Structure 1
């Protein structure tokens, strides 16, 4: 198997091996000294905890923990998972990811889910937010809808109507790693991209049966060396808020903050709302962007609304 193909296969492997990989990576990240374990340093071949050390601290047998790490046990109790999470010093996001991987049925069949459709109320909310950039993102970070200013801020080089058709719907994940425009837009691209990889790994653990998600991860692993390397690191994290500094082609540099809101009836759909950063110049830049792109964006939005209405 070629190098890139092997990476893609590893990125999309089954839940048992994903659980084992996660446990091994987290075990390697915790040193005996952090847990007040006194062990001789010579002849130690692993950088973190050994299996027997983790098992002993968690109060479970080495044989059972080994089966769990090798994907040969899929019925770990909450008490066992909590004990392992405590020893590995997992945060809340990592703990949730551990549960997702451990609770997934073995050899779950991956299916291609139906195309995601935005809820009309979510689209109405986007349209009402005239002065703030906003996007509605699906489970796999596909853009289900955006308002004119959200489009102008993050993807002005793409057609405004693109999210309306699942076949042309932009993928924020692909754009971040494979689209030169998006890469140049992000001043601290590496930081934001690393964060994005951690979020994708979290989602992959939560929706392991999603074939399209697995294919996305495989594609990015093959086409982006950075993605493949960071994915192998095993980090997971939520992306619910943060800040981004953009080198925008129309209004120049500006800092924005973002907040993510989950949809109550569709928790895998996220409304991503942007506000100006603390520098007053950021608000001025967003206002300028709205003025510069406003007429064309509003015309495109009207065409998109008419197309959606005629399709119903």
Structure 2
């Protein structure tokens, strides 16, 4: 399986530029995925730089392990959630940390994972399938007010109330079992506007809630201040305004980091054309101050 058949890493050249890789540097890729960014960081820190890759999804972790095999012991692999960063580093300080908050295209492409309404699959959406609540648990169990709040807060869905009421009404006749069940129910109550499928924002909200994505982000941000060496850099790629606001606010208010990007770095036209996932990607960068 070659890299071009895998999750294409976004903003690769931009990450390379802002990370300021150096021989012997130690870097964390907190969202390893299939190892695309990590490969670039390993190449850029030759001959003896180290990349510690953290990944929640065991299947992704195994793929990355295969992809990065040529780098031997310079590539370290950790199965877990980046929200536990300091425990994982165990006192080690690093020269750079990358978090790419987009979800892997491998998740969308595998119907069994339940991330996409494009193909029928079980309503799951967990990155780590060994643990936690599923999307089915939420849509079949939460009361109408909580569902509406979820879709509004995490999906920024203007029809949140209408959709929540429709889901609860549907539940009276039977459980939601598959992604198609859910998508069709939403399509019946929300008009389609433009290219965006009516279920897009609800699926986003469920994915964020199932994986506690915003909670994990808020947990890890203060830890990065401790983990970085002076002069070390924090790079975060976000894909929607909820994440971007959290990152922007943190970098602006941090006592130990200086924001280096007044406006977020976005993909070139060429990358946006070749990789649709890059269209909404925003990179923000901060550097740890010297005491």
Q: What's the TM-score, normalizing by structure 2?
A: 0.29
Which protein has the bigger helix share? 1
Q: Which structure has the larger Rg?
A: 1
